[in-house]
Amino acid sequence: MDGKNRAASSYLSPGNPPADKEQNDPLAQVFHNACSYNFFAMAELLHRLAKGEKGTPELSLRDDPAQETLRFSADASLAFPCSDISALKRDTSGAFRMTTTFMGLQGSQSPLPGYYLDHLAWKAVHEQSPVGDFLDMFSHRLTQFVWHIWRKYRYHISFRNGGVDAFSQRMYSLVGLGHRQLRDKLAINHSKMLAYSGILANPGRSPEESPENKTGIVRCDLIDCANNFKEITTMPARSLCQNFLNNILAPLHLYRQKSLIDATNAVINGASLTLTSIGRHLTGTASVKNKIKRVDRLLGNRHLQNEVSTIFQRITQKITRGMSRVVILIDWSAYHASRFQLLRASLACDGRSLPLMSCVVPSSQTANADVHERFLESLAECFSPGTDVIVITDAGFQGRWFQQLRSRGWTYICRVLGNHYYNVGNGWEKVSDSGTKASTTAIYLGEGLLGRDKNAQHEGHFYLYKSKPKGRRFKRSKERATRPSVTAKARTAGKSPWFIFTNSTEFSPKQVMKLYSRRMQIEQNFRDEKNPRWGFGLRFGASHSSGRVTVLSLIATLASIIMWLSGFSLENKGIHHKYQANTVKHRRVISLLKLAENVIRHSPLILNTLSLDAGLKVLQQRYTNMIMVY
């Protein structure tokens, strides 16, 4: 006897179902493909067929066995089951006999010892199994219980036209229509009210006013529920994230995609950029502890950490696709108490910049030329060859930086501080001495060389501008620590004129200064991430590895892009006027990120009307006119 090593019978394979001998039987096709059916679907189908033929009454566990139209038996085979149903027959009395591969007392699903199962399998093959027939009495009853339980919790199975079934009668009680006399007073089909039973069950709705206010209830109360329940509130934002990020996150494993989208959705809905805060804001029925551990696994996932650069590139490609000219802001920023430094590239826009790509390195590698080279190489792969790239940086980028940009054919607009020398044909002059020439009107100083060292000289054009005093006064609260050196340095930098160095002659002095003034957008972008009051609160993070900080930076980038594009789309629809504290219409009052935040908090269902891809397309069409000053 082969026992467990015996091959499965041919009729167990869905590809070789048992052939029906009665070709004229209308059920021949069902019998022929029985192995490919789901158990519950097949059982329900056979019950309805028998009911149609004989007028069988409603199912009941108290029926006499002789009246049952469907009998179950267990498959005695020890082979691995490949379907719920292994055989289906019909006896001379018209009853259906279904052989199942689960919940039986014989076969591979049985809890009995192997010796008994081998013996029963051998007997079944030789069609001499009185013990198996005895055990099938219990298998039939057990399977019957499972089927009845399934039917009990399937409303579409028990429902009868007109809502005359027992469960529908209980549903009517939820809406105050439990008595038949009340239902008869309605001018509409009362069974239609079952679809709104969850809404109409709210307090304050009597049966008499239900038909008159049905439309108002469906629209208004549903929105009210969405504002009261966090699970419903977060769904529109998550759908927005998933629809926009599907293509960007396509190379990732499905589980990492889902976890990253959930984390981004948590930040959008108010979480800080810390492990525990993101975990506490995740949706779902899991415990908070398990949610926090889920975020911990996400931040520490080595595969995701290695895929971050690819995701950044796909983000940049999607946002800049179709743009003939892009203005890129690049700057460094300290992360996590200056343990790490973040090198970021953002797309200058109207208002906030859009973060595109980031690189987290130890503080010892700040302004490192090799880091710059790798970063620019990764950024260059995102643009098509015909794209005009303009890079704007502050005075912290010097030395090989200009050569690295020039070698790629990019335009750069950079500020130069006072300790450098330049020559525009009148001999070498110190940048700090040019302050006397500066005025509130931008001027062109001429073409020349930057740097006295012949090995580090760069050719370009020089511009000078000094803005009007803003009239600001330094105010420090008593709780704030005194930092005289920091204050003095900031005051000096604020009063210093803008000495701009560029390799392009395409722009007028006014345009050069206007483009450089947009560099402040990336500083606001850093504040949006790190500031606990005005942003995502990354400053509170306690991660100690560059990989985890990189993933947090990725989550912040995704959340910023989603909120920026949401605010941009909402503003184009004119919705922003409803969230202002005044009636000003000639200028923007609240930022795009703040607009998106308010809509998510107060009217999240509005997000269902948005398409971020459509908003991005509008941005790409308007970008050149948005960023340039003519």
Encode pLDDT of 461-484 as tens digits: 999 999 887 777 777 666 666 667
Report CA dihedral (570, 572, 573, 579) to the nearest 10 degrees.
50
Considering 113-127, 191-205, 509-523, the range whose residues carry the highest mean pLDDT is 509-523
Give the Cα-Cα-Cα angle 156, 160, 164 (nearest 5 degrees): 130
129 and 97 within one domain: yes
Percentages (nearest 5) of helix, strand, coil residues in the chain? 50, 15, 35
Q: Answer whether residue 494 is part of any domain.
A: yes
Report CA dihedral (435, 440, 444, 448) to the nearest 10 degrees.
20
Q: DSSP letter for 609, please.
A: G
172 and 87 within one domain: no
53 and 177 within one domain: no
Q: Answer whether residue 296 is part of any domain.
A: no
What distance in Å separates the CA atoms of residue 118 and residue 106, rounded to the nearest whole number? 9
Find all residues with CB under 8 Å of 418, minimum gap 6, and list them.
Answer: 430, 431, 432, 433, 496, 499
Give the tokens for residue 404.
């690295």
**φ and ψ at residue 96, rounded to 5 degrees:** -85, 140
Residue 104 has pLDDT above 70, yes or no: yes
pLDDT (tens digit per residue) in 264-295:
999 999 999 999 999 999 988 899 999 999 99
pLDDT of residue 2: 46
What is the pTM assigned to this prediction?
0.63
pLDDT of residue 479: 65
Q: DSSP letter for 217, please.
A: I
Q: How confident is the model at residue 172 (pLDDT cuts 50, 70, 90)?
A: confident
Q: Answer whether residue 255 is part of any domain.
A: no
Tell me, what amino acid is at 221?
A: D
Cβ density class 466-478: b for 16+ within 10 Å, e for less: beeeeeeeeeeee
Report CA dihedral (580, 585, 589, 592) to the nearest 10 degrees.
90
Q: Answer whether residue 444 is part of any domain.
A: yes
What distance in Å separates the CA atoms of residue 524 and residue 530, rounded to the nearest whole number? 10
Residues 86, 102: contact at Cβ < 8 Å? no
pLDDT of residue 23: 53
CA 217 to chain centre: 31
Domain boundary among 203, 228, 253: 228
- Region of poorest pLDDT, from 56-65, 109-118, 285-294, 581-590: 56-65
pLDDT (tens digit per residue) in 407-447:
999 999 999 988 899 999 889 999 988 887 888 899 999 99
Residue 210 has pLDDT above 60, yes or no: no
Q: DSSP letter for 19, please.
A: P
Find all residues with CB under 8 Å of 629, minimum gap 6, and list them.
Answer: 510, 511, 514, 515
Q: Can you name the residues that pair with 421 across neighbouring β-strands?
A: 430
Question: For residues 507 and 200, which has the higher predicted lDDT (pLDDT)?
Answer: 507
Domain boundary among 125, 158, 191: 158
What distance in Å separates the CA atoms of residue 488 and residue 484, rounded to the nearest whole number? 6
Residue 119 has pLDDT above 90, yes or no: no
- Helices and strands in the chain, H and E counts: 23, 13
153 and 13 within one domain: yes
pLDDT of residue 216: 42
**φ and ψ at residue 32, rounded to 5 degrees:** -65, -35
What is the arithmetic mean of pLDDT over 526-554? 90
Residues 548, 360: contact at Cβ < 8 Å? no
The bridge status of strand 388-393 relative to strand 325-335 is: parallel
147 and 24 within one domain: yes
pLDDT (tens digit per residue) in 11-64:
444 445 544 444 555 567 777 777 888 888 888 888 887 776 555 456 777 777
> Per DSSP, which regions of 441-564 are E strands?
443-450, 458-465, 498-502
**Counting every residue, how long is the chain?**
630
181 and 50 within one domain: no
Number of domains in the chain: 3
211 and 130 within one domain: no
197 and 154 within one domain: no
127 and 180 within one domain: no
Q: Answer whether residue 282 is part of any domain.
A: no
What distance in Å separates the CA atoms of residue 54 and residue 76, rounded to the nearest whole number? 32
- Region of poorest pLDDT, from 23-27, 37-41, 306-310, 346-350: 23-27
129 and 28 within one domain: yes
Q: Can you name the residues that pair with 432 across neighbouring β-strands?
A: none
Residue 379 has pLDDT above 90, yes or no: yes
Domain boundary among 142, 158, 174: 158
141 and 22 within one domain: yes
CA 181 to chain centre: 50
Tell me, what amino acid is at 294?
A: R
3-state SS track over 83-125: CCEEEEEECCCCCEEEEECCCCCCCCCCCCCHHHHHHHHHHHH
Q: Answer whether residue 43 is part of any domain.
A: yes
pLDDT of residue 70: 86
What is the CB-side half-sphere exposure of residue 277 using CA atoms within 13 A?
Answer: 19
Q: Environment class of residue 516 by beta-carbon count within 10 Å: exposed (0-12), middle (13-18) or buried (19+)?
A: buried
Neighbours of 602 (CB within 10 A): 11
Residues 608, 308: contact at Cβ < 8 Å? no
In DSSP notation, 270-293 reads T--SSHHHHHHT--SSS-HHHHHH
177 and 145 within one domain: no
pLDDT of residue 5: 45
Q: Answer whether residue 550 is part of any domain.
A: no
**φ and ψ at residue 259, rounded to 5 degrees:** -65, -40
What distance in Å separates the CA atoms of residue 304 and residue 298, rounded to the nearest whole number? 8
Q: Answer whether residue 31 is part of any domain.
A: yes
| Residue closest to 449 by CA, chosen among 427, 429, 422 | 422
User: For the chain, what is the mean pLDDT?
Assistant: 83
Question: What domain range includes position 83?
Answer: 3-158
